[in-house]
Chain A
């Protein structure tokens, strides 16, 4: 992965007193993002002791370090040295794949009707296209638990609402440009809402916080409103088996 030709794409930049930002070629691309995730795990493991955490994003990696033990300049030179001598291409990325249920009923998919007109697609086609693709979780962030998912099919690319809604419900599944995503909590937002996913993206009382990690893959499957209610109930009662989402 990090062969010598790729090394030249990596830039290490001082970011405040206790962070370094590693930037690769600035492009949304699964291969570049895969390298970011490999680097994240490698750096955390190799520099345990100075490096406190790594936060991956599309094509950059935020490295947080203990500035009582090392300064940015020294860390950058160590990273440069180590990354030169390391071949990460054989490090597996043990990513998981999940099938997430989404109810596209018009009760939840409040923008489906108008979207069907603007996209000149039937509601069924929008749902089918949304469920066909496999989406890579490029990164997490923005709101607690939010997943930045890989690009949606161009046929369902939709403009954001000109005036964002004051409150979009937790679990709402939305489209914005080539992005698709799930609202992890009630929040203001301008995405076109096409359904609801009953699976919480963040489990506030679990030490793992979330079963979804950057680098994993997601696919959606359409469920009806009674199946949605049944899953919601199981989640509320704490009996839902999150591992059953794994495929």
Chain B
């Protein structure tokens, strides 16, 4: 039982919920950027929600199924097709041996999650399959997909019942909680943040999102490097916002104006370059 990667698409990785608790070693948590959509893809096919799945970014891969499988797709709608025929998102599908899954134009969101029934026989590191951007993380070789790679899948549970669930709605209004330096920004800086709209730049990836928009005045002193968690909104010396995502550096030296809620961090993962967004204050 296995699947073969005919082509990888823009950037396709194998993900689970990541590895929390290693920031003191400089290791970010990683894991699926839109966690609820990843969980949903597993729920669709009755997999354990912590089973690994493919995270597919904007331009999807082409995958051949070397056996009968059941798949689930959730998250971004990247126009999935089986043997050229469009299939529905947020639904389970029985895929006969020899079929090819491909993708077309991105219709909504940025990252889709593909679950495949059965246990994936791939290596874990510190309890997770998620690859890392820097360093020779042992799972990078298998979890960042390459052309002609075979993913071995064992003990398939082939239930025939088709399941459909409603997919997550993505919001581009992101909710912001207090950050460590929020109170050191001027009230004018905060009012700019919450009244203007911002755009995702081309520097947007699993490590973080750089935004462009109205300049935010930064407090007039240098910060000493300090821990940073995913969702943190740092303002650089040019007054622009950088939001750390799940593969981001564990420390930072810019002022932290706020931090996204977990829900909004998942929503951010579905925004792509040139999308616009606004911020809503949950600061009390």
Contacts and interface: CB of A to CB of B under 8 A. Distances in A.
Given A21-B180, A57-B226, A62-B229, A185 B135 contact: yes
Contacts of A54: 24
A140 interface: yes
Interface string A92-133: 000000000000000000000000000000000000000000
B224 A26 contact: yes
B158 interface: no
A186 to B, nearest CB: 8
- With most chain A CB atoms within 10 A of its CB, the pick from B22, B132, B178, B224 is B224
Given A17-B261, A204-B136, A204-B137, A142 B250 contact: yes
B138 A205 contact: yes
Interface string A2-22: 000000000001111101010
A202 B229 contact: no
A55 interface: yes
Given A57-B251, A141-B23, A143-B26, A202 B135 contact: yes
Contacts of B86: none
B177 A17 contact: yes
Given A26-B224, A142-B249, A19 B135 contact: no
Contacts of A209: 22, 25, 27
B125 interface: yes
Contacts of B249: 141-143
A148 B179 CA distance: 23
A28 B24 contact: no
A191 interface: no
Contacts of B177: 14, 16-17
A71 interface: no
Contacts, number: 121
Contact of B251 (A23, A142, A187): A142
B276 to A, nearest CB: 24
Q: Which of A52, A62, A209 has the most CB of B within 10 A?
A: A62
Interface in B171-192: 177-180
A146 B251 CA distance: 11
A210 interface: yes
Which of B21, B23, B179, B259 gathers the greatest number of chain A CB atoms within 10 Å? Answer: B23
Nearest to A210: B25
Interface residues of A, number: 40
B25 A202 contact: yes
Nearest to B138: A204
Interface residues on B, range: 35 or more
A141 B21 contact: no
Contact of B178 (A14, A23, A62, A148): A14
Contacts of A64: 20-21, 23, 229
B259 A16 contact: yes
Interface in B240-265: 249-251, 256, 259-262
B134 A187 contact: yes
B84 interface: no
A185 B26 CA distance: 12
B231 interface: yes
A210 B138 CA distance: 15
B227 interface: yes
Contacts of B227: 21, 55, 57, 60, 62, 141
Contact of B224 (A58, A143, A144, A184): A58
B225 A139 contact: yes
Interface string B123-146: 001000000101111100000000
A144 B23 CA distance: 9
Given A15-B259, A143-B26, A210-B25, A52 B20 contact: yes
Most chain A CB within 10 A, of B177, B223, B226, B259, is at B226
Interface string B151-178: 0000000000000000000000000011
A13 B229 CA distance: 14
Nearest to A214: B24
Please list the 5 inter-chain residue pairs (A to B) with the smallest Cβ-Cβ separation, ordered nearest first.
A141-B251, A62-B227, A185-B135, A16-B259, A141-B250
28 contacts: A13-B178, A15-B259, A16-B229, A17-B261, A23-B180, A26-B224, A52-B20, A53-B23, A55-B24, A55-B227, A55-B250, A57-B225, A58-B225, A59-B226, A60-B226, A64-B20, A64-B229, A141-B225, A141-B249, A142-B249, A143-B26, A144-B27, A144-B135, A145-B25, A145-B135, A185-B134, A204-B136, A209-B22
Given A16-B232, A52-B20, A146-B26, 7 more contacts: A16-B259, A21-B227, A64-B21, A142-B225, A142-B251, A184-B26, A204-B136
